[in-house]
Copies of this chain bind each other. A is one copy, B any other.
Amino acid sequence: MGAGRVERSLDRGRMRLPDEETPVPSDEEPPDGWYVDRRAWLIGAASVLGATAGELLSPALPTAGESAPEDPTRVPGAVPSAYGVRSRFERAQRVTTATHSLTPYQSLHGIVTPSSLHFERHHNGVPAINPHRHRLLVHGLVDRPLMLSMDELTRFPSLTRTLCIECSGNTGKEWKDPVGRTVQETHGLMSTSEWTGVQLATVLAECGIRPDAMWVLAEGGDAAAMTRSLPLKEVLNEAVLCYAHNGEALRPEQGYPLRLVIPGWEGNTCIKWLRRLKLGAAPFMTREETARYTDLMPDGKARQFTFVMEAKSVITSPSGGQRIEPGFVEIRGLAWSGRGKITTVEVSMDGGRMWDQAQLQEPVLPKCHTRFRFGWRWKGEDVLLQSRCADETGYVQPTRAALVAARGVHSSYHYNAIQTWKIARDGLVTNVHL
């Protein structure tokens, strides 16, 4: 419990707040999905307005350990800094482990992921790279090998796309058991940003692509020298060599100063700290595409080069670890597809028997998060809350049963089943498998 709870207790002696019986979320929990009770508001508001306006707008109470003036209108404010920071009352953060960090979707809004909270997966840490020394080598089956500095890359014709990058391992721990306690733990290995850079085709046109070039090797400049082979024809006009992210230079964890971004493909193909592109006649069979990023099927064979992330959706609020109260709840979530635009999202309260159409927030962009919402009134009953999306190819997000029937439970990657959040009668939300 954070400052809110303490302060609310203090407040109580002073004035009756509209929601005084509502548990106050801790700083780690989002306010989303807490109930709206029109009647309680109005009664509360009426009694509140019995106090004077001055008392109401500036309650003279201690701030429970957080420093803010009792009345901010009485104290000249600070001058903004040259590079701003968030309020000290905000604490949403990534869960960070030795190999990855997870975006806290229970605390986020809209579709843009704040750069400071973008998910991250690395194979040997985040390198410190001096952009003035960084070079991209383009060689192999090209007429004219090139070595490019960052200054040269930024002079090329550029483009910008808002895209979701999803790790192939996102939700991967859900193959067997419902282990993720929050949406951050289940679905935190994905993020959406505005990416700017140079089309791969533009750079390769400078080198001259030889007719026998069919694959391109992309190599990172990190301590793992993370390396993937990509089919050239499929990525030539789609892949972007990105140097900017949400308006500014890439963040170090996103590949500073240069990242290959392949819209809709699994995150590990979007090579960070990109230092080398080599064109070849066949895949290069790197460790990452033999020992690692393959999908073990029920018959014991493994699928290889499964690049595209299929359509998927998740309700971010209410979600695991949150608690709701009877009354109005806006169900909020995200849907995305590696094959194009999301066309519909439906929401079910009974584990997938009945479905209602959710509202999609414009703009709906291809290979990008789409925010959906559904207004609902909870009466305190047991609920099995689900969302199901479809994309413009007609593909519909599968149930967990259908996904497991096709794929078994021995994969680590490409889990895109419908997520179920169970809402118990006490309002607590948990992750369950049906």
- Residues of chain A whose beta carbon lies under 8 Å from any beta carbon of chain B: 3-4, 7-8, 11, 17-19, 22, 24-25, 31-36, 38, 41-42, 44-46, 48-49, 53, 56-57, 59, 61, 63, 66-69, 72-90, 92-96, 98, 101, 107-118, 120, 122, 124-133, 135, 137, 139, 144-152, 154-160, 162, 194-196, 206, 221-223, 225, 243-244, 246-253, 256-257, 273, 275-276, 328-330, 332, 361, 363, 365, 371, 373, 375
Contact = CB atoms under 8 A, between A and B. Distances in A.
Contact of A221 (B72, B78, B83, B117): B72
Nearest to A363: B363
Contact of A18 (B127, B152, B253): B152
A18 B149 contact: yes
A98 B81 CA distance: 11
A137 B57 contact: yes
A396 to B, nearest CB: 25
B41 A206 contact: yes
Contacts of A120: 80, 84
Nearest to A121: B80
A156 B90 CA distance: 20
A275 B57 contact: yes
B253 A112 contact: no
B83 A128 contact: no
A157 B359 CA distance: 11
A7 to B, nearest CB: 5
